[in-house]
Amino acid sequence: MIERAHVLICSGSNCISRGAKSLRDEFEDNLNRLGIRDEIKLVNTGCVGLCEQGPFVIVYPEGVFYAQIKSKDVKSICDEHLYKGRIVEKLVFDEALTPEKEVKAFDEIKFYSKQTRVALRNCGLINPDDIEEYIARDGYRGLGKVLLEMTPSEVIEEMIDSGLRGRGGGGFPTGVKWKFAHNEVNDQKFMICNADEGDPGAFMDRALLEGDPHSILEGLMIGGYAIGANKGYIYVRIEYPTAIEKLKVAIKQAKEFGLIGDNIFGSGFNFDIEIRLGAGAFVCGEETALIASIEGARGMSRNKPPFPAVSGLWGKPTIINNVETLANIPAVIHNGAKWFSRIGTEKSKGTKVFSLGGNIKNAGLVEVPMGTTLREVIYEIGGGIPKNKALKAVQTGGPSGGAIPESLLDLPIEYETLVAAGSMMGSGGMVVIDEDNCMVDICRFYLEFTVEESCGKCTPCREGTKKMLEILNIISSGEGTLEDLAFLEKLAGSVKNSSLCGLGQAAPNPILSMLEHFRDEFEAHVVDKKCPGGVCKPLINLHVLENCIGCTKCAKNCPVDCISGSLKQMHKIDNSVCIKCGICKNVCPVDAIVSI
Amino acid sequence: MKSLDDLKRIRDAAQKKVTMRGKNDGIRILVGMATCGISAGARPVMNKFVEEIASRDLEKVTVTPVGCIGECAIEPIVEVLQGEERTTYCRVDIEAVERIINEHIVGGKVVSDHVIGKYRI
């Protein structure tokens, strides 16, 4: 019997952590109780994208989008919607309801209708554990096309024509990179998938690996055919257990279908894929460090050239592509370079996936055409800043990128424009920072990360990042001077210019971009000894304003009893005792406590 | 996997698994499945629709249970939506399902014996 309805349960890591794991069992129990289990198909999908509102359940054929579903809600979806056909309006995602209480289908919701999904085309729509669902969505047709109808040179030309550029952050044209390895004469070459996603706040690659693992395998094999490799590795960090599990299932199924192995499609092309686990070091996302790690050595970068395309893994020509790049490749081949190059702008083709996080309403995973403005992503797709706070900056590129101020939000998203704005595309982390944050503090956060993750091989990065963090700590403690600021800027420039690999070269980016766009905030710390964001504790003083209603809530919650005042009287904070924990500010019902 | 034809075969067979999760621009069959509909026998009717669609391989035809439209006395009610056209059938039984599939869905001709106009008093 064919199922009359499909129930898709988002099982991306974010929804699992919000309790999606028990939903499937709950559905099984309820559908069996109603005797309609064999009419309904249950599908555990990858990330749906709107993680802030998870866990999700989507019911087809109507495409009804249920959000924030808990185990106890499953009963009413089964009883009402699946059994009686009455949509459970109170569980429908609120943006999917029109003012007339009509339910909009999932792809008509603003969050999705503004997106163009190329890399994420299958994410959240198919069961990643079922190769047939991938094949049904034209999976592996690109591979068949290149193996049977195209020469490796034609594949490379097609990739160059498409304009696809590396999605790991660098933005190097993928076809050109492949050509380097293709032109090398060697009996053994390698393809590697770089799945060592490590930026704080970035989870695009994880979502792709979990939601559509076959697209990565297919991309890797198309690359292998183009450059003349018959062996591929997927380097993925052990911190992504679900992704590893999905990849293992996908590889096993592809082998059973004869899509990985010998003589694929009867073309004579052989390819094998193995998974290599990394221990979760940020530097291993750098190509040469990644290669060292696969070879069994300590993950440290080396000088380039020679580039891996010439001498990489075990000295053999090696191409390393990022997860998102690989996920795009089958779509480019299947639909053609012309189709792909119509999306995006002149220099940046296609789409980019971002993981939207920080102070934003609809945190989650979004994919937009290149050339979309940051403002559209943040306000139209992301839904803006919670509590109507003002936006201060957007950090793209994580610890290697920079902060883009409000005034530049109308910039189109492209590799070049973001670099010109002092940031970079990066792998796709997009952290929204609102007015209640301190830029010095955010700099410290990123520098703490790079200090920890520096491999220690070259002095500028090992010592420079540490020294820069020390200066930032001095500034945030209120002991800094203008000379410290000048020195920080100079040191940042030196580290950027003299570090061995991308990690050190990009580590000063947050400092440099924030000094460019938010210098007044740094100066407020050293000159006025004030923290405008109200974050750096030594620089803030809490005060009660006149609109205090004397509810005594602050005094009751103060851990050091430094707030005095009786009922219905204005309260007062004794700053000599205050430890600046901010609890009073958070509990005040009338926002009468401010930090100055 | 020995050839592209092998892949196409698997694809065509597997496509049924996922066509439902796209835009619905085909024919939608709505079966009234509120308490009144269920007690009048809507469940076997809906199952019959699903079975027929599957066995005849009808593309882009979906079956959706819906609530009560108010005419409880003449349930089971089935509506066929095709673009802007809406046909409402009443007192649908297994035999009527076969006729609706044969004559309306496949043949394109409304089964006038069961349309709502015949039953309204």
Query: pLDDT tens digits for A549-570?
Result: 999 999 999 999 999 988 999 9
DSSP A534: S
The 3-state DSSP composition of chain A as helix, strand, coil percent (nearest 5) reads: 45, 15, 35
DSSP A568: T
In sequence order, what are the beta bridge partners of A435? none
Q: Which residues contact B78 (CB under 8 A, 6 or more apart)?
A: B29, B30, B31, B32, B45, B49, B88, B89, B92, B97, B100
3-state class (DSSP) for residue A132:
helix
Closest CB from A6, A83, A135 relative to B20: A6
Return the number of CB contacts < 8 Å for A and B. 101
DSSP A559: T
**What is the pTM assigned to this prediction?**
0.86
Instruction: Reply yes or no: is the peptide bond before residue A386 cis, omega within 30 of 0.
Output: no
3-state class (DSSP) for residue A31:
helix
Q: What tokens were used for A331? A: 């779509």
Predicted confidence at residue B22, as pLDDT, reads: 64
Kind and range of the H or E element at A195? strand A190-195
Which fold does the domain B22-112 belong to in CATH? Glutaredoxin (3.40.30)
Q: How far apart are CA A26 and CA A44, in angstroms?
A: 13
Measured CA distances, A103 to A81, A89, A190, A538, B69 (Å): 13, 8, 50, 51, 17
pLDDT in tens, A247-275: 999 999 999 999 999 999 999 999 999 99
Predicted confidence at residue A324, as pLDDT, reads: 96
Q: What value of ipTM does the predicted structure carry?
A: 0.74
Does the structure show a pLDDT above 80 at A106?
no
Contact assessment for residue A78 and residue A34, using Cβ atoms and an 8 Å cutoff:
yes
Predicted confidence at residue A220, as pLDDT, reads: 97
Q: What tokens were used for A182? A: 């293709």
Cβ–Cβ contact A84 with B under 8 A: yes
- Asked if A265 and B14 come within 8 Å (Cβ–Cβ), the reply is no
Chain A CB contacts of B64 under 8 Å are 4-5, 61-62, 85
Closest CB from B4, B18, B64 relative to A126: B18
Does the structure show a pLDDT above 90 at B16?
no
Q: Which of A144, A162, A193 minimizes the C-alpha distance to A326?
A: A193
Chain A interface, best mutation among B9, B10, B12, B17, by max A CB count within 10 A? B17
pLDDT in tens, B86-120: 888 988 999 999 999 999 988 888 998 888 877 65
| Stretch A512-536: mean pLDDT | 93
Closest CB from B13, B34, B63 relative to A84: B34
C-alpha of A189 from chain center: 30
Predicted confidence at residue B23, as pLDDT, reads: 62
Does the structure show a pLDDT above 60 at A155?
yes
Residue of A nearest to B31 (CA): A85
Q: How far apart are CA A321 and CA A313, in angstroms?
A: 14
Predicted confidence at residue A479, as pLDDT, reads: 93
Q: Which of B103, B113, B97, B107 minimizes the C-alpha distance to B47?
A: B97
Q: Which residues contact A550 (CB under 8 A, 6 or more apart)?
A: A565, A566, A567, A568, A569, A570, A571
3-state class (DSSP) for residue B115:
strand
DSSP A102: P
> At which residue do the structure tokens 């990065």 appear?
A461
For CA atoms A275, A281, A282, A284, the dihedral sign is: negative
Q: Which of A385, A382, A341 minimizes the C-alpha distance to A359?
A: A385
- Asked if A136 and B14 come within 8 Å (Cβ–Cβ), the reply is yes
Chain B CB contacts of A135 under 8 Å are 7, 10-11, 14
Concatenate the DSSP letters of all residues of A57-75 into one string: EEEETTTEEE-S--HHHHH
pLDDT over 70, % of chain A: 99
Predicted confidence at residue A103, as pLDDT, reads: 75
Closest CB from A62, A86, A136 relative to B15: A136
| Stretch A22-34: mean pLDDT | 93
Helices (H), A435-545: 439-453, 459-476, 482-498, 502-506, 509-517, 519-523
Q: What tokens were used for A457? A: 């091989």
Predicted confidence at residue B33, as pLDDT, reads: 80
Predicted confidence at residue A4, as pLDDT, reads: 83
Q: What tokens were used for A397? A: 């590129």
The 3-state DSSP composition of chain B as helix, strand, coil percent (nearest 5) reads: 50, 20, 30
Cβ–Cβ contact A82 with B under 8 A: yes
Main-chain dihedrals φ then ψ at residue B18, nearest 5 degrees: -120, -10
Does the structure show a pLDDT above 50 at A312?
yes
Identify which has the larger pLDDT, A408 or A427: A408
Does the structure show a pLDDT above 50 at A444?
yes
What domains are there in chain A, each with its CATH number? 5-109 (3.40.30.10), 131-341 (3.40.50.11540), 351-434 (3.10.20.600), 439-528 (1.20.1440.230), 541-595 (3.30.70.20)
**Segment of A73-87, A257-271, B59-73, B80-94 carrying the highest mean pLDDT:** A257-271
Identify which has the larger pLDDT, A579 or B21: A579
DSSP A105: P
Does the structure show a pLDDT above 70 at B24?
no
Chain A CB contacts of B47 under 8 Å are 1, 39
Closest CB from A41, A137, A264 relative to B1: A264
Predicted confidence at residue B121, as pLDDT, reads: 45
